[in-house]
């Protein structure tokens, strides 16, 4: 037994000295944005584009001289979309660098690290999660959501439906995960307020592919719209193709993480007509006053996904908050950064979002409904920008 | 060099540490565990705590799978039961930490007995599937018994506090998690010095023979399940205090597989195997980060390109162990011990 323990100890001690020495070696001058990013695992497709978006915005800031002469740097590591690894990365990075801005990869991580953020009081955190629970400045004072939360996303869709077809009947399709169940209760309440009729609720097991029984329920209920949430892609195409085969005229809708047009392009003809809420402009959007979109297209000639835009705007909000704190000569800490972020009012994102944005609380409740055109392979706007504040 | 160990009584023969060097090394090891938090930064302290929690859980699974020969893929579900019990007791009853933790272990043990019932009839892969089924049932309960489990959003756990002292930092948590893990491991090691532990091993080696020898299979199999689940429940309870939020997604099936892989890599049927396996499985991916960090200046866009490499290397390491050392890390450790026993006179 003795040698093992010795080995384990050696391993730990060696590792410890390694960690300590690496921490000391880093430069302290930069403004560091930390990140627990899912570069591998089920959410890797988003993690990779988020990283690209953040890096590109940071490059733009640095090329323009940084913040107050200080360079901005993204320090991130892969989490595999696992909470324990996300926390490990958080602890690793915060031990090595002075970090006041952080990007987290999941709702689970955001909830887990929230008490630690309060205890540390040194940073604010955004991330890939739009969980409604995080949109509560009292419970999550240092969190922010770079867009509408999931409830607000569904509300944007409901507003759109109420305008397009008053009194429409709706089916809610959600995955049986925390992510999927997030907006259900609020969506039902809001639908009732808007005079919309929720005729069916479907909960699918995570990872389910066969949805034929659920489609039969849809056929019986014949809703005008079906709002699905909690998925990236599957089983939405399955729902759509089977519903089409049964002659249903239900319009299918989704939320941000299932709105990437390159994903739907792979689905083909079935995807035609799929609608959903998108807080940011698409890479290929035509817009008059969108200098940032032009810059992005200049830097990256090929299509960039929705995750890229999310990362880009997240970095923009972080940098803007840091700028405001430094401009006032205040200390960079969680409270000051969050207060500075809350002063963001009618802020021009350079066309990343279609409206000048404000962040009075933890979210920016703005979005627009887009519809997929299989012929063009693009998402096209079908509504104006909707603010559900 | 040790030439031989003279034992003059059965007591000495049964002792956990039989030689002087063993006792000295153990003392050094324990002293190091005490000194560790003063030397480590938050990152390594976090990992030390996580390792300790995984060691407890893996040791539990090792009792069940490694020592009793009952394959379980439901271990994460038992951890979840412990975590939920602790979270529920902490938020609703406000009972002291230690009572919550023990309650977590006991409730998990009760579930373990229930899930273990089919083990009398089914073995091997069939039992593995039965335990997976049980974990899915539990998962369903976690989502749908809103009143107790908080549904899909789960329960946020307030920081652990003992005698009014709040233990929110990893430094402070270490002083709770590490001693409990040490006691749990000691308990497991001692278990196999008793009749019960030997009965487990007999069941693993050939259950029919064990029954012929007078070991009531049902009782001992269920006992093994309940002890293993108790360990899982305790680990889950510590996990709840450590991560401060318990949701239905906190303990996926992957966690069960992780623990099973830990004891296979570490060495089934050896206490040291569970420990070494849990340490390896938890720390290897983290240590690989540093490997990647060293190479990253040489590779453009290193973050995106090297992240998958880390996963692949980790996988290859596990496969490597299975091929070159099927007995696990425990066997490698034994080999090193044998080497040093004759050192410097190598044979």
Q: Where are the domains of chain B?
A: 40-342
Residues lower than pLDDT 50 in chain A: 1-3, 9, 13, 15-28
pLDDT > 90? residue B195:
yes
| Burial annotation B290-325 (CB, 10 A radius, 16+ → b, else e) | eebeeeeeeeeeebbebbebbbebbeebbeebeeee
- Residue B235 predicted with pLDDT over 50: yes
For residue B164, what pLDDT is reported?
Answer: 85
* A170 shares its domain with A206: yes
Asked if residue A371 and residue A350 are part of one domain, the reply reads: no
The reported pLDDT for the residue numbered B15 is 86
B245·A23 Cβ contact <8 A: no
Does some domain include residue A285? no
Two tokens at B315? 């996988």
Q: Are residues A260 and A297 in the same domain?
A: no
Nearest Cα residue in chain B from A20: B41
Angle CA B301–A309–A104, to nearest 5: 70
A329 within a domain of the structure (yes/no)? yes
DSSP state of B126: H
Flag whether A286 is in a domain: no
The shortest CB-CB distance from A40 to any of B156, B308, B333 is to B308
B309 to chain A: closest CA residue: A40
Say whether both A90 and A11 belong to one domain.
yes
Residue in B48, B156, B247 closest to A12 by CB:
B48
Closest-CA residue of B relative to A40 is: B308
Q: Are residues A122 and A203 in the same domain?
A: no
Looking at every residue in chain B, the average pLDDT score rounds to 92
- Position B7 scores a pLDDT of 83
> Would you state the structure tokens that stand for residue A198, as one six-digit string?
């929720």
How many inter-chain contacts (A to B, CB under 8 Å) are there? 148
Are residues A136 and A86 both part of a single domain? yes
Whether residue B275 lies within 8 A of chain A, CB to CB, comes out as: yes
Residue A287 located in a structural domain = no
State whether A77 and B336 contact (CB < 8 Å): no
Q: Is the Cβ of B38 closer than 8 Å to some Cβ of chain A? A: no
**Measured between alpha carbons, how far is A318 from A186 in angstroms, rounded to an integer?**
29
Residues A109 and A207 in one domain: no
Which of A154, A162, A352, A176 has the alpha carbon at shortest distance from A258? A154
Cα–Cα distances in angstroms (integers) from residue A205 to residues A176, A230, B77, B247, in the given order: 5, 11, 18, 16
Q: What sign results for the dihedral spanned by CA atoms B303, B308, B309, B310?
A: positive
Contact A345, A248 (CB under 8 A): no
What residue in B sits closest to A22 (Cα-Cα)?
Answer: B290
- Whether A283 maps to a domain, the answer reads no
CATH architecture of B40-342: Orthogonal Bundle (1.10)
For residue A88, the enclosing domain spans: 2-148+292-358
The reported pLDDT for the residue numbered A264 is 94
ipTM rounded to 2 decimals = 0.88
Residue A239 placed within a domain: yes
The closest CB to that of A1, out of B22, B44, B245, belongs to B22
Asked whether residue A6 falls in the same domain as residue A126, the answer is yes
Partner A contacted by B161 (CB < 8 A): no
Nearest to A105 by CA among A79, A134, A137: A79
pLDDT, average across residues B129-133: 94
Q: In total, how many domains does chain A have? A: 2
**Cβ count within 10 A of residue B211:** 15
Phi, psi of A331 (to 5 degrees): -75, 145
Do A234 and A316 fall into the same domain?
no
Q: Residue A166 sits in a domain of what CATH number? A: 3.40.50.2300
Mean pLDDT of B62-69: 96
Are the beta carbons of A39 and B275 separated by less than 8 Å?
Answer: no
Share of chain B above pLDDT 90, in %: 69
Residues 6+ apart with CB under 8 A from A195: A162, A166, A167
Three-point CA angle A287, A289, A292, nearest 5°: 90
**In terms of domains, do A67 and A81 share one?**
yes
Q: Same structural domain for residues A240 and A374?
A: yes
Strands A31-37 and A72-78, sheet pairing: parallel
pLDDT at position A287: 85
- In degrees and rounded to multiples of 5, residue A200 shows phi and psi of -155, 140
């Amino acid at each position: 037994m003795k040698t093992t323990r010795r080995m384990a100890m050696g391993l730990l001690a060696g590792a410890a000295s390694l960690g300590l020495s690496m921490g000391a070696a880093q430069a302290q001058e930069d403004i560091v944005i930390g990140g627990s990013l899912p570069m591998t695992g089920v959410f890797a497709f988003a993690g990779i584009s988020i990283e690209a978006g953040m890096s590109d915005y940071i490059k733009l800031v640095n090329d323009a001289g940084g913040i107050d002469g200080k360079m901005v740097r993204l320090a991130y590591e892969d989490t595999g979309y696992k909470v324990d690894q996300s926390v490990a990365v958080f602890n690793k990075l915060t031990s090595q660098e002075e970090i006041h801005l952080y990007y987290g990869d999941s709702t689970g991580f955001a909830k887990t690290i929230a008490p630690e953020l309060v205890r540390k009081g040194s940073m604010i955190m955004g991330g890939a999660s739009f969980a409604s629970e995080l949109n509560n400045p009292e419970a999550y004072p240092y969190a922010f959501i770079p867009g509408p939360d999931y409830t607000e996303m569904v509300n944007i869709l409901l507003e759109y439906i109420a305008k397009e077809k008053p009194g429409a009947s709706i089916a809610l399709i959600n995955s049986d995960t925390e992510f999927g169940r997030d907006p259900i209760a609020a969506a039902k309440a809001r639908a009732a307020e808007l005079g919309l009729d929720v005729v069916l609720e479907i909960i699918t097991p995570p990872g389910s592919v066969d949805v034929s029984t659920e489609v039969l329920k849809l056929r019986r209920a014949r809703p005008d719209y079906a709002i699905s949430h909690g998925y990236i892609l599957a089983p939405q195409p399955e729902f759509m193709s089977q519903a089409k085969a049964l002659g249903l005229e239900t319009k299918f809708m989704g939320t941000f993480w299932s709105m990437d047009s390159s994903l739907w392009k792979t689905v083909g003809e079935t995807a035609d007509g799929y609608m959903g809420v998108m807080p940011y402009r698409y890479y290929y959007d035509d817009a008059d006053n969108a200098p940032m979109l032009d810059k992005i297209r200049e830097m990256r000639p090929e299509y960039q996904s929705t995750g890229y835009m999310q990362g880009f705007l997240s970095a923009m909000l972080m940098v803007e908050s840091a700028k405001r704190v430094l401009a006032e000569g205040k200390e960079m800490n969680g409270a000051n950064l969050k207060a500075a972020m809350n002063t963001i009012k009618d802020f021009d994102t350079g066309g990343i979002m279609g409206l000048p944005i404000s962040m009075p609380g933890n979210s920016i409740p703005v979005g627009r409904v887009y519809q997929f055109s299989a012929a063009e392979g693009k998402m096209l706007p079908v509504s104006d920008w909707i603010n559900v504040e | 060099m040790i030439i031989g160990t003279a034992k003059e009584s059965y007591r000495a023969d049964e002792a956990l540490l039989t030689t002087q060097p063993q006792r000295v090394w153990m003392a050094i090891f324990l002293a190091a565990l005490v000194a560790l938090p003063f030397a480590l930064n938050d990152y390594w302290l976090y990992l030390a705590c996580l390792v300790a929690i995984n060691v407890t859980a893996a040791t539990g699974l090792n009792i069940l799978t490694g020592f009793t020969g009952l394959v379980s893929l439901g271990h994460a579900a038992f951890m979840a039961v412990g975590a939920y019990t602790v979270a529920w007791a902490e938020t609703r009853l406000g009972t002291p930490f230690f009572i919550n933790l023990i309650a977590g272990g006991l409730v998990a043990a009760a579930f373990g007995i229930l899930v273990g019932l089919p083990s009398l009839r089914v073995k091997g892969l069939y039992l593995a599937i039965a335990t997976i089924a049980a974990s899915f049932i539990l998962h369903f309960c976690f989502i749908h018994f809103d009143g107790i489990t908080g549904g899909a959003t789960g329960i946020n756990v307030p920081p652990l506090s003992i005698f009014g002292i709040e233990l929110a930092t990893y430094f402070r948590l270490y002083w709770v998690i590490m001693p409990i893990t040490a006691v749990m491991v000691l308990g497991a090691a001692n278990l196999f010095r008793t009749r019960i532990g030997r009965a487990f091993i007999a069941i693993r080696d050939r259950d029919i023979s064990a029954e012929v020898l007078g070991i009531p299979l049902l009782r001992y199999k269920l006992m093994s399940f309940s002890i293993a689940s108790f360990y899982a429940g305790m680990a889950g309870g510590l996990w709840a205090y450590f991560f401060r939020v318990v949701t239905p997604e906190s303990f996926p099936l992957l966690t069960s597989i992780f623990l099973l892989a830990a004891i296979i890599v570490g060495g089934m049927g050896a206490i040291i195997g569970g420990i070494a396996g849990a340490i390896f499985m938890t720390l290897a991916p983290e240590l690989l980060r540093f490997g990647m960090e060293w190479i990253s200046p040489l590779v453009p866009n290193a973050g995106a390109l090297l992240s998958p490499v880390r996963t692949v290397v980790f996988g290859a390491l596990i496969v490597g162990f299975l091929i070159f050392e099927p007995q696990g890390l425990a066997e490698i450790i034994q080999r090193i011990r044998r080497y040093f026993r004759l050192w410097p006179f190598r044979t």
